[in-house]
Structure 1
């Protein structure tokens, strides 16, 4: 029994904006070695928005503790004209780390991608995000070349999906 629940959410919820800012702040510290400015954040979101992480061609999943605390999230969207889904905005807050929540979110995203019609899923990450690269490799993702990358990624992954 886990201490969290994963369910469909909306990227438009107020607490999601706060978590996305937290996510990008952590990415700035880890990838750039410094804080991101509000201008940089606006630029990132304009270049790689997340408003398509919802029906009909995507989904946004939210993980909350049994008490309702927002612990993490992950999105999935279908890439135009393909049977390929893309994992986006996967983030586990410090309070959810070490609980298996990353694995739980990854599985939930994969199941959602299959329901959307995907036969494979892709994602990207950075060298500094060792935990993400380890999680993907541990769960059957293979390193590949760039697909439709955004931002500062330098590692790309792909996994074949099957309906269970």
Structure 2
């Protein structure tokens, strides 16, 4: 677990995306991004459709992992890494609740995802970002993610970013 530098007790914990806690936070992720996409609160049907169309079950075991961010006992975010091929991972399901945005939760989460990825042999982390997720795009750039050639044909992939991770000390 990691504590944010801002002095707030933000921690991360590994969870199974199929668990009640994992499904609940991934559902909040989809509620946020679907709602932002449409410019209105997402309906339950829209959230369920997104969860079926883009499942998160592979964010465990040898294919990836999912972390939750907690502020004390409350889950306030999540993020995962999907292991694409040897040495390459993809950030996914990055979500920070609006109540804690600006407190370093995103930085804490990404830092922990990078550290865990590096310990699993990942040397490059990549991700896609929609154009309307301006603050997320800005955060990734501040954390060293740079524009790369497109690697996804998703209609929601407006930006393709990647970062080389430093080798871990063995």
- TM-score normalised by the shorter chain: which range applies? 0.7 to 0.9
8 Å contact kept, 2:30–2:50: no
Q: Which moved more, 1:41-50 or 1:54-63?
A: 41-50
Q: Residues 8-157 of structure 1: matches in 2 within 5 Å?
A: 8-66=14-72, 68-79=73-84, 81-150=85-154, 152-157=156-161
How far, CA to CA, are the matches of 1:158 and 1:132 in structure 2?
14
Q: Secondary structure of 2:78's partner? A: strand
C-alpha displacement at 1:39, in angstroms?
Answer: 4.2
How far, CA to CA, are the matches of 1:118 and 1:35 in structure 2?
36
Q: Gapped runs of 5+ residues in structure 1? A: none
Q: Which moved more, 1:70-79 or 1:149-158?
A: 149-158
Q: Gapped runs of 5+ residues in structure 2? A: 1-6
C-alpha displacement at 1:97, in angstroms?
Answer: 1.3
If the length of structure 2 is used for normalisation, what is the TM-score? 0.85
CA deviations 1:62-110 (Å, max 9, x no partner) are 11122x110111000111x342100010101122211101000001111
CA RMSD of aligned residues (A): 1.9
C-alpha displacement at 1:38, in angstroms?
Answer: 4.0
If the length of structure 1 is used for normalisation, what is the TM-score? 0.88
